[in-house]
Structure 1
Amino acid sequence: MTTNESYPLLGVIADLARDMAAGDRFQQLLATIRQMLPCDAAALLQLRGTELIPLAVDGLSTDTLGRHFVVDDHPRLAKILLSHEPVRFAADSPLPDPYDGLLHAVEGDLHVHDCLGIALYLHGVPWGVLTLDALNANAFDQIDPGELRYLARLSEAVIRITELTSQLQSRTEHHQAMTQALVADGQQELIGRSRAMAQLQQEIEMVARSDLAVLITGETGVGKELVARRVHALSNRARAPLIYLNCAALPENLVESELFGHTRGAFSGAVQSRVGKFELAHGGTLFLDEVGELPLTVQPKLLRALQSGEVQRLGSDSHHQVDVRIIAASNRDLHREVAEGRFRADLYHRLGVYPIAVPSLRERHKDVLLLAGHFLEQNRRRIGLRGLRLDAAAREALLGYPWPGNVRELEHLISRAVLKAQAGQDGSRRLLTITAELLDLGGPPVTSSSPAPTPVDPQMTSPVAGLPLREATEQFQVQLIRQVLERHDNNQSRAAQELGVDRGNFSRLVKRLGV
């Protein structure tokens, strides 16, 4: 390598001594590699179980970061991973390219280009791969294999230092072990790199190791159950069961039996004894989904079980001591439910020792593209397609849509669009493109960057006449906030968004004004 070629590496080496997030460090590494080598795209993927997970990409579409590449489904990646030397694929290689249609530089099918990959190892064990792609089929002709091996060693050093830094920042070894167990067990992860998701991950990790009751709130479809499973997986109870109960799906006369169990003959139809969810969750976690739907008649018995740790089966005089951590979830505003007499205040405070608000998809900005990539890859594997991608108009449509149904709506939308794209296509087609028309989001995109002005009721001005300026201003604020909160079913995040103020500042203002 010449002296001029060495200059970009100085930045990477200098970064090793800086406090940087792992994603930023890996992104800087790829940007440097693209400066040094004639490539149009680079990617760093980590091997987790049987999948390669993109940690950073440069020159590939953003949704690539949401995709999981199953090694057995991608022979090129498998060949790279199994080789201790750099692997270059001929332009006419029959092996499908996992990045077809994902390069920023092209919108159509890409059949001829230069592609190579390098397996990365830590402590003699495969860690992942570094891949390079170029539009020019002869781009890599003049690259010295020794130079590639040097880059491999440099990449491994960056990865090693990044992992050591992460370990030092990790609060406990137990947390690391539980995180690895979660991935190994194949549980769905929380996907997203937005500030809102970073805050959510931080809160999950903070509360998971305690035994505090957690109340998860958020709109329908944001992934409250996924958050609950994550809290359990990172907790000291991870090896014990997580028992799920959907409180909204049970008839009122069966809720008590589901929670606490019953003896034979306790009621009509009880032909045999049954253990309740509390006893099944002994030593582990009980997740009460849609807890706001619990009948008022059952709530005092649930409260007693939480306070004493004792449960009594229907029809039995004996008590059973249980050790259970409670995680509850609701898309209702339980504080409002308490105020209106539909939920017990003491139970609300018992459940909500540590509240976690799951952000809506509207608050997560470009996370929608990562999630879309994740769902596209799931559909590609399920249907057996060669490739799936979003065109530019589809990406813009996804970013502009307000997502009232959140992540669940996105998942279903992608599945429908894939089926539409597949309909009538030749089965040998190597790449299917999802267009904005196939997404069928309807109407012009709605952006959240510039909220529409809030209409003010003219009658709001009359009550403040004759008051001192400070009191008049506060009274006007109270009326305006109440109007906006009512329009959004008391959802403070959406109200703050409409008013164009920071969510935290809005919450403090609501509290100060006593709204």
Structure 2
Amino acid sequence: MKPPLRDQAWLQIAVGLSTSMPGELQYQRLVESICNVLPCDAVALLKLQEGELSPVATYGLAPELIGQRFRPAEHPRLQRILSMREPVRFPDDAGLPDPFDGWLAIDTERNADVHACMGCSLYVDQQLVGVLTLDALTPGAFDQIDDMTIAAFAALAAATLRNVALIRALERSTEQQRALARELVQEAQRREGELIGRSPELQKLREEIRLVAATDLAVLITGETGTGKELVARTLHAQSRRHDQVLVHINCAALPESIAESELFGHIKGAFTGATQDRAGKFELADGGTLFLDEIGELPLALQAKLLRALQQGEIQRVGSDRLLRVNVRLIAATNRDLAQEVAAGRFRADLYHRLKVYPLAVPALREHKGDIDLLCGYFLDQARSKLGLQQIGLHPLALARLQAYDWPGNVRELEHLLLRASLKAAREASDRPLIRAQQLDLPDEPPPTIAANLQHTRPDTLPETSLRDAVDAFQRQLICQVLEAHHGNWSATARALELDRANLNRLAKRLGLQS
């Protein structure tokens, strides 16, 4: 047997609430369902926004009404409905103008007045969100309708408003997350170009990144502080199949042990003091993307076992919860520690170490690829020029030679910061065309070696793997720079100290790139 028309209407509204159909369609089905079971000529669902009522769906009213805005203070009937929690009926002789007089669709002349009117305010969680109104041309049309029926339809209308608002909020949140992911991806792609260098060491590193990026293997990036391990991780993610997903970065060294588990795996409300609501951890946030655990060697031992389980089984458990969550995360870890030594000392789990070290990437120290210093200087000076608002900034050949001779214990990061400081000093002395000179570099002073001292330390077993011409040029360049610096940039005194004719020294300096 076919259910009564009213039950069909309620069923139709309930189905609309349980589906993901567009909000406008849900609103329209709601008002149409009400009109199908109640003796009214028009129904309007209005949403309260910033003190105004805006129609979101109407039935039986002129279509252009959707574009109208109703200020309750200008419409006594709407004001009355908003002020009451129960349904409000207006007698035929109420003497109050109806906001929809002249708006009925069946009245093509737009001059008919409404004779029967009732409405109900809509609340969601004790918050007033809108109004549902019913109108009819027939006087007394609603006399036989009980308040409970109207209240039930009003509750469904309020639920529809809430449902659509929640869906739209989720859509906005999802879009924000996608925008954030796109921004992170674009940032990673921009930063990918910052892996500066043409040395064999850097070329090998780039090739290894390209090789492992195409897989989902766990990667352990090792290297001294300041070598650019984070940059390698971002470049790896940008070249991976997950490049359009988020890269979540967490610094394990900055994690207090008391909250480290919550940061990684999340927690539920009430799990510990201060856990006032459920919170997703970094593994959940990185689901489908990449999780970068920087300074993994600093992770507490107690947490390493749980991390191992997450990596092996792809399952995590929020603090305070019994439920297991499946996550699909590609892991990249980085450390400046020797994890093999940490394992031997009992400070790092051997099983976790081997699980992380599926594909190790070693980032070379700057002293191992000094041939890239000139490129790095050009890149960092351009950044310094932009930060300081300069048109250009140069580097004196003697300053470059001094940089190339330094051992760089702080690696690329130390070079970057040193050049920024030197740029500031040079700009202070010559704001139009600043030039960084050797004396403006914050490098430790070294006494200039004699020719005999240099020759003494050049033994066959320490010769570089290069051609004789290149080795001689490098030796001459370093020696000239050191002697020139010892004589405070005086070329004549330098020529006398090297027992060379001044003109010959100038020609040699130009060939070696020490003079323009």
Q: Which amino acid aligns with 2:233?
A: A
Q: Deviations over 1:322-348 (max 9, x none)?
A: 000000000000011001110000000
- Larger RCO of the pair (alpha carbons < 8 Å, separation 6+): 1
Q: Which residue does the alignment assign to 1:412?
A: 417
Residue in 1 that maps onto 2:203:
198
Deviates more, 1:201-210 or 1:262-271: 262-271
Task: Determine if contact 2:188/2:238 at 8 Å carries over to the other structure.
Answer: no
Determine which of 361, 365, 371 is the counterpart of 2:366.
Answer: 361
Indicate the SS of the match to 2:248: strand
Q: Which digits, 9 at most, give the CA deviation of each residue in 1:42-96, with x for residues without a partner?
A: xxxxxxxxxxxxxxxxxxxxxxxxxxxxxxxxxxxxxxxxxxxxxxxxxxxxxxx
Query: Residues 280 and 313 from structure 1, CA distance in 2 versus in 1: closer, same or farther, beyond 3 angstroms?
Result: same
Any idea what SS the aligned residue of 1:327 has?
A: strand
Cα distance, 1:453–1:292 mapped onto 2, change above 3 Å: farther
- Given that 2:242 and 2:288 are in contact with CA atoms closer than 8 Å, whether structure 1 keeps it comes out as yes
Question: Quick one: which amino acid aligns to residue 264 of structure 1?
Answer: K
1:210 to 212, 215, 218: 215
Residue in 2 aligned with 1:399? 404
SS at match of 1:423: helix
Tell me how far apart the structure 2 counterparts of residues 446 and 351 of structure 1 sit (CA, whole Å).
Answer: 47
Instruction: Name the amino acid aligned to 1:435.
Output: R
Residues 359 and 322 of structure 1, relative CA distance in 2, 3 Å threshold: same
Check the 8 A contact 2:191/2:235 in 1, yes or no. Answer: no
The amino acid across from 2:353 in the alignment is: Y
SS at the partner of 2:333?
strand
Amino acid at match of 2:423: V
* CA displacement at 1:383 relative to structure 2: 1.4
Report the equivalent of 1:312: 317
Output one character per residue of 1:216-262: Cα deviation in whole Å (capped at 9) or x when no partner.
00000000000000110000000010000100001111110010000
Deviation at 1:271, TM superposition (A): 1.5
2:256 matches 1:254:
no
Residue 445 (structure 2) pairs with residue 443 (structure 1): yes
Equivalent position of 2:428 in the other structure: 423
Relative to structure 1, the CA distance from residue 450 to residue 360 in structure 2 (aligned partners, 3 Å threshold; closer, same or farther) is: farther
Alignment coverage as a number of residue pairs? 276
Cα distance change, pair 224–445 in 1 and its aligned pair in 2 (3 A)? farther
- Classify 1:445/1:355 alpha carbon distance in 2 versus 1 (closer, same or farther; 3 Å): farther
Does structure 2 retain, via aligned residues, the 8 Å contact 1:182–1:233? no
Q: In the TM superposition, what is the alpha-carbon distance from 1:381 to its structure 2 partner?
A: 1.5
Letter in 2 for 1:260: F
SS of residue paired to 1:253? coil
Letter of the 2:439 partner, please give it: E
Query: Deviation of residue 444 (structure 1)?
Result: 2.6
* Counterpart Cα distance in 2 of 1:450 and 1:263: 69
Q: Deviation at 1:366?
A: 1.8
* AA aligned opposite 1:402: D
C-alpha distance in structure 2 between counterparts of 1:410 and 1:188, whole Å: 18
> CA 1:446 to 1:188, structure 2 compared with 1: closer, same or farther past 3 Å?
farther
Which runs of at least 4 in structure 1 moved beyond 4 Å after TM superposition? 180-188, 449-454, 498-502
- Tell me the SS of whatever aligns to 2:334: strand
Q: Determine the structure 2 residue equivalent to 1:175.
A: none
Q: Distance in 1 between matches of 2:329 and 2:194?
A: 24
Which structure's CA Rg is the greater one? Answer: 2
Residues 1:270 and 2:267 are matched in the alignment = no
Residues 219 and 331, structure 1, Cα contact 8 Å, conserved in 2: yes
Corresponding residue of 1:286: 291
Structure 2: any 5+ residue segments left out of the alignment?
A: 1-184, 466-516
8 A Cα contact 1:393 1:435, kept in partner: yes
Cα distance, 1:192 vs structure 2: 0.2
Q: What does residue range 361-510 of structure 1 map to in structure 2 within 5 Å? A: 361-425=366-430, 427=431, 429=432, 431-444=433-446
Report the secondary structure of 1:216's partner residue. Answer: strand
The one-letter amino acid paired with 2:420 is S
Measured in 1, the distance between the counterparts of 2:373 and 2:288 equals 37
- Over residues 307-326 of structure 1, what are the superposed CA-to-partner deviations in whole Å (9 max), with x where a residue is unaligned? 11000000111111000000
Change (3 A) 1:296 1:373: same
Indicate how the Cα distance of structure 1 residues 367 and 399 shifts in structure 2: closer, same or farther if over 3 A, else same.
same
Shift of the 357–388 alpha-carbon distance from structure 1 to 2, 3 Å rule, reads same
- Return the alpha-carbon distance in structure 2 between the equivalents of residues 383 and 251 of structure 1: 36
Query: Does the aligned pair in 2 maintain the 1:220–1:405 contact within 8 Å?
Result: yes
With structure 2 as the length reference, what TM-score do the two structures score? Answer: 0.51
Q: Which residue identity is paired with 1:443?
A: D
Question: Given residue 438 of structure 2, which amino acid in structure 1 is its aligned partner?
Answer: A
**Aligned counterpart, 1:322:** 327
SS at match of 1:297: helix
Match of 2:234 in 1: 229
Q: 1:365 to 1:313 in 2, by over 3 A?
A: same
Change (3 A) 1:231 1:451: farther
CA 1:274/1:501 → structure 2, altered by over 3 Å: closer, same or farther?
farther
Give me the identity figure in percent.
Answer: 57
The letter for the 1-side match of 2:226 is G
SS state at 2:423 partner: helix
2: CA distance between counterparts of 1:398 and 1:220?
19
Q: Is the 8 A contact 2:248 2:286 kept in 1?
A: yes
**Alpha-carbon contact 1:400-1:446 (below 8 Å) kept:** no
Q: Distance in 2 between matches of 1:356 and 1:445?
A: 38
State the 1:384 CA deviation: 1.6
Q: CA RMSD in A?
A: 2.7
Unaligned stretches of 5+ residues in structure 1: 1-179, 455-497, 503-515
- Structure 2 CA distance for aligned equivalents of residues 451 and 314 of structure 1: 65
Paired residues for 1:117-128 under 5 Å: none
Tell me the alpha carbon deviations over residues 114-134 of structure 1, each in whole angstroms, 9 at most, x when there is no partner: xxxxxxxxxxxxxxxxxxxxx
Q: How does 1:124-163 map onto structure 2 within 5 Å?
A: none
SS of equivalent to 1:265:
coil
Whole-Å Cα distance in 2 between the matches of residues 251 and 359 of structure 1?
30
Deviations 1:162-192 (A, max 9, x none): xxxxxxxxxxxxxxxxxx9678656552000
Q: Distance in 1 between matches of 2:463 and 2:307?
A: 40
Q: Decide whether aligned partners of structure 1 residues 227 and 330 sit closer, same or farther in structure 2, where only a CA change above 3 A counts.
A: same
Whether the 8 Å CA contact 1:247–1:294 is kept in 2: the answer is yes
